Amino acid sequence: MNKINCIGILTSGGDSPGMNAAIRAVTRTALGRGFRVKGIYRGYDGLIHGDIKDFTSESVSNIIARGGTILKSARSKEFTTPEGRQQAYETMKAEGIDALVVIGGNGSLTGARIFADEFNVPCIGLPGTIDNDLYGTDLTIGYDTTLNTIVECVDKIRDTANSHERIFFVEVMGRDAGFLAQNSAIASGAEAAIIPEDSTDADQLEHFIGRGIRKSKNSSIVIVSESPKCGAMFYADRVKKEYPQYDVRVSILGHLQRGGSPSARDRILATRLGSGAIDAILDGQRNVMIGIRNDEVIYIPFADAIRSDKPMNLNLIKVLDELSI
């Protein structure tokens, strides 16, 4: 294995609050341990096209509190092609980058894994996604902040739902995972959550209708995990049709969920994982994602982090149900 002198760092896929804290931790830990650091802009596109700058400690000053990513992010189509990855490898060689730290979600780490296999490049992943859907880590960078943002929004929606005695279907992000929906529902005291991991969508809706809206409550909030086929609008339409006596509204929270200053918890997580990435490189680890389990920083092979479905505690849906009487 060639000696590693220079580490390239990039953020890829949907941004998440805390990515900057991770960039800061990776950069400063690496510099402190004698590596050179290069910031790669716009994800894998920047690696392909040489959008790269030398990073110093000052490059990451005053960013720990900022949402988004100073490195910008992209979902690179070119990097999904063998030609794109070949070009990325040429750029790495020309820039003298010996190892990569990739901060991103499932798609980004899948890209890192393929690239690492094809060119024998040491890659370390950090789980940067609001969706919390990477296997092997209890938490991903950005999830906690987004959860808090959703809860803040739902608290506000509750005020108006109550005043007008309405049922609100609130749609939240999560791609194919219901962590944000389930836990924001619990934290905001919502009446129900409709998530992809639970029984069929139709059953979940029937269950809510049977338990919730027929009771004495004058307002209800249902958190719905986003889905191309049956998001909040779909359920609202069904309830409107079957129960015209109810006043139903939809609120799709959208991209505001990805913004904002990271929570203390996300900043600490990002810092620990970022510093763990450099420990991993020094440990001779290759092609692993750095995660956290039971408060311990751990290494998860890319193949596991990407392939397996992250288990969800579905008992919490029962808890939600019991508390919504």
Catalytic residues: 131
CA distance 261 to 152: 14
Asked if 72 touches ligand F6P (CB under 6 A), the answer is no
With respect to ligand F6P, which residue has the nearer C-beta, 59 or 146? 146
Site for ligand F6P in 142-181 (CB under 6 A): 173-175
Asked if 42 touches ligand F6P (CB under 6 A), the answer is no
> What is the closest distance, in whole angstroms, from the C-beta atom of residue 192 to ligand F6P in the complex?
20
Asked if 14 touches ligand F6P (CB under 6 A), the answer is yes
Is 149 in contact with 165 (CB distance < 8 Å)? no
Asked if 102 touches ligand F6P (CB under 6 A), the answer is no
Asked if 25 touches ligand F6P (CB under 6 A), the answer is no
With respect to ligand F6P, which residue has the nearer C-beta, 85 or 258? 258
Asked if 238 touches ligand F6P (CB under 6 A), the answer is no
> What is the closest distance, in whole angstroms, from the C-beta atom of residue 146 to ligand F6P in the complex?
8
Asked if 184 touches ligand F6P (CB under 6 A), the answer is no
Asked if 30 touches ligand F6P (CB under 6 A), the answer is no
Site for ligand F6P in 267-296 (CB under 6 A): none
Out of 45, 98, 131, 266, which residue is the one contacting ligand F6P (CB under 6 A)?
A: 131
